[in-house]
Amino acid sequence: MTPQELADRLARILADIISEHGRGSDRDAGGPDVTSADTAVERPKNREHGDWASNAAMKFAKRVGANPRELAQRIAERIEAVDGVARAEVAGPGFINITLDAASAGETARRVVEQGDAYGRGDSLVGQRINLEFVSANPTGPLHLGHTRWAALGDSISRVLRAAGADVVNEYYINDAGSQMNKFGRSVLAAALGEDAPEDAYPGEYIQQLGRRVREQLPELPELAAADRDRALDLAQEAAYQRQLAEIKDSLERFNVHFDVYFSERTLHAAEADGTSPIEAAIGRLREQGHVYEEDGAIWVRTTDFGDDKDRVFTRGNGVFTYFAADAAYYLSKKDRGFGEKIYLLGADHHGYIGRLTAIAGAAGDDVEADITVLIGQLVNLNGARLSKRAGNIVELDDLLEWLGSDALRYWLARYPADSPLSLDGEKLRSRTNDNPVFTVQYAHARTRAVDRNAAAAGVDRSAFDPSLLTHETETELLGRLQEYPGIVAGAAELREPHRIARYLEELAGAFHRWYDNCRVIPQGGAAVEDLHRTRLWLNDAVGQVIRNGLDLLGVSAPERL
RNA sequence: GCCUCCGUAGCUCAGUGGAUAGAGCAACGGCCUUCUAAUCCGUUGGUCGCAGGUUCGAAUCCUGCCGGGGGCACCA
């Protein structure tokens, strides 16, 4: 009996009661059907409140026109008759507290082991084709801490959405057109030629390194620069860009972050077969829809029709397209490529973009509620010190990986809600105690593996499974946690909040450690191996499996030993 | 000024309208003859920023204040 099955049974029972009681009037009037979402059970904090609790009677009492406790009592009588339910009691203002048979709860251990990697995966988002854009850092320098949170979070969101059945494409938008690229090119060329840096050059040692690389790659650069400076600039800029982009991709792979598509902004500016660029085509399409006008010699889009606080401009006075024009064309590209929901993961410093991005979705004829989601995340602090270019304390992703390792960094960055401020505490992340949550969880996994190895050596195997033997309170607790997992994954996907996975794993790890301290898998002092030990081995392995599955959703490894 | 996020234990933070608001750390006190004591157990610790409102019920939803972060370009 899983919580989901319990919720299904409750929903059916409640629907029956409503139709008997209300003589179907609710349904005839188009009243709401009862779904398992209405009767979802939760794990009570207090053990005396049973294994699972439902507040459905309180929710529906008014609609049924009954007293909550009376309704709860009628539901309780019927759910108690269900196979696998030991007790159902009404408590407080109308809670239904349900206790399962030990055998029914214990079945979970076998189910988890048998389903393996698939345990926790669901189908709540099947059929959804989602574009998830994140990081999208300019290819004019290395990734730094400012990008790192979105890399970890975005990749984990993607994994969670996929676990719920969605078809997700991770996308990185490369701003490889425009003045920043030119500035980058001039900086690198000067470095390559050993010249003084230009007035507005990019700072940083990496520019010098790129300059040396470019010089090696293009030995003819000095001669060329003397003869045709613009040509030399083009070549140097292009070489530096390709090199920097490759390094970004490399860093991301080492961070276990995978993108399916790297989308170049240039392709939006370049003319296609019909002679027009995607940006021009996009403006044309929006013009046909009546959303574009000209004023003061510039082309404008009436984003205020879709809730933006001011209209936006597509061309600057000199006729060059704005960054926003490319954004609009890019949005249409995503739409044309068949994506339903387009998710943008942006830092809080970009929150002013929500209005205009949403407006473009509206102007494109999309549903601004369902087809576009802009997730705004708070910025990261390092040991309490705000990150800023001016203060010169930018930390590169590569440095962080070397210092802390990918696992600790990814886990820490994914364990907080995106809209919560987060600071990176290097000392804590390097510690090997409960102080460090990633360690706690990984250690619990390693411990399940150690038990498994020791069990094999002691002759305890999984040849028997009798779930009715799993009656210790720490076992009931642990089984409850295992049963919760699929619901946690579904919730994390629905809310785009992978931190729920991390928090869950920490609780699971705690429940496992408590169980380990109370219940032996391997008989003590050479005593005989009994079915209880064999059954507990299933439970041990089930916990290891769920920790592996959960850590995988966070892009974190589950070591066999620490 | 407008928009937005945040304010919960000494610290860092969870908490999808439900029961006595939780975790880790810190502080104090316990358990090693061990399937690794890197774990575990106990105690201490709260005006959920403030004030109203909504309802059977509010840390959670609404309004207004207070305090803090971020944003309000024909920049990229």
> Measured from the CB, is A379 under 7 Å from any atom of strand B?
yes
Q: Which residues of A440-468 are buried (b: 16+ CB within 10 A; e: fewer)?
A: bbbbbbbbbbebbeebeeeebebeebebe
Nucleotides of chain B touched by protein CB (<7 A): 2-6, 12-16, 18-26, 34-41, 56, 69-72, 74-76
Q: Which residues is A461 bridged to in the sheet?
A: none
pLDDT band at A144 (very low <50, low <70, confident <90, very high): confident
The residue that minimises its CA distance to C1' of B41 is A514
Q: Look up the CATH number of domain A3-100.
A: 3.30.1360.70
Please give the angle made by the CA atoms of A195, A200 and A206, to the nearest 5 degrees: 65
Q: Which long-range contacts (CB under 8 A, 24 or more apart) does A73-79 make?
A: A74/A17, A75/A10, A75/A13, A75/A14, A75/A17, A78/A13, A78/A16, A78/A17, A79/A6, A79/A9, A79/A10, A79/A13
Name the percent of chain A lying above pLDDT 70. Answer: 96
**How many angstroms separate the CA atoms of A473 and A485, rounded?**
19
> Measured from the CB, is A304 under 7 Å from any atom of strand B?
no
pLDDT at site A122: 96
> Measured from the CB, is A450 under 7 Å from any atom of strand B?
yes
> Measured from the CB, is A374 under 7 Å from any atom of strand B?
no
Residues 6+ apart with CB under 8 A from A558: A442, A445, A544, A547, A548, A551, A552
- Compute φ and ψ for A244, nearest 5 degrees: -65, -40
pLDDT in tens, A9-62: 999 999 998 888 655 444 444 445 788 888 999 998 888 889 999 999 998 888
Output A280 or A46, whichever has higher pLDDT: A280
**Six-digit token string for A381:** 């602090």
**Six-digit token string for A100:** 């399962």
Residue A393: CA count within 13 A, CB half-sphere: 10
- Compute φ and ψ for A193, nearest 5 degrees: -90, 0
Nearest-10 crossing angle of helices A179-193, A205-217: 70
Helix (H) / strand (E) element for A129: namely strand A129-133
Q: Which residues is A231 bridged to in the sheet?
A: none
Residue A115 contacts residue A547 (beta carbons within 8 Å): no
Mean pLDDT of A262-266: 96
| Å: A19 CA to B57 C1' | 27
CATH number for A429-553: choose from 1.10.10.10, 2.40.30.10, 1.10.730.10, 2.60.40.10: 1.10.730.10
* Integer angstrom CA distances of residue A470 from A108, A179, A478, A538: 11, 66, 10, 11
What are the helix (H) ranges across A421-472?
426-430, 437-458
pLDDT band at A393 (very low <50, low <70, confident <90, very high): low
pLDDT band at A349 (very low <50, low <70, confident <90, very high): confident
Q: Which residue has the tokens 């409750």?
A: A10
Nucleotide nearest to A428 (CA to C1'): B25
Helix (H) / strand (E) element for A38: namely none
pLDDT at site A512: 96
What are the helix (H) ranges across A117-204?
145-163, 179-193
- Complex confidence, ipTM: 0.95
| Å: A47 CA to B50 C1' | 35
Q: Which of residues 483-522 of A touch strand B (CB under 7 A)?
A: 488, 491-492, 494-495, 497, 499-500, 503, 506, 510, 513-514, 516-517, 519-522
Q: Give the neighbor-by-neighbor strand order of the sheet with A261-264.
A: A261-264, A167-174, A129-133, A342-347, A372-377
pLDDT higher than threshold 70 for residue A555: yes
Mean pLDDT of A228-249: 96
Nucleotide nearest to A50 (CA to C1'): B19
Domain boundaries, chain A: 3-100, 129-177+261-426, 179-254, 429-553
- Say which DSSP state A348 is in: G
- Residue of A145, A151, A191 whose CA lies nearest to A171: A151
**How many angstroms separate the CA atoms of A125 and A516, rounded?**
36
Residues 6+ apart with CB under 8 A from A295: none
Diameter over CA atoms, chain A: 92
pLDDT band at A327 (very low <50, low <70, confident <90, very high): very high
Mean pLDDT of A516-544: 94
pLDDT higher than threshold 50 for residue A391: no
Q: Which of residues 144-183 of A touch strand B (CB under 7 A)?
A: 175, 177-181
Assign domain A129-177+261-426 to its CATH superfamily: HUPs (3.40.50.620)
pLDDT at site A179: 86
On the 0-12 / 13-18 / 19+ scale of CB atoms within 10 A, A419 is: exposed
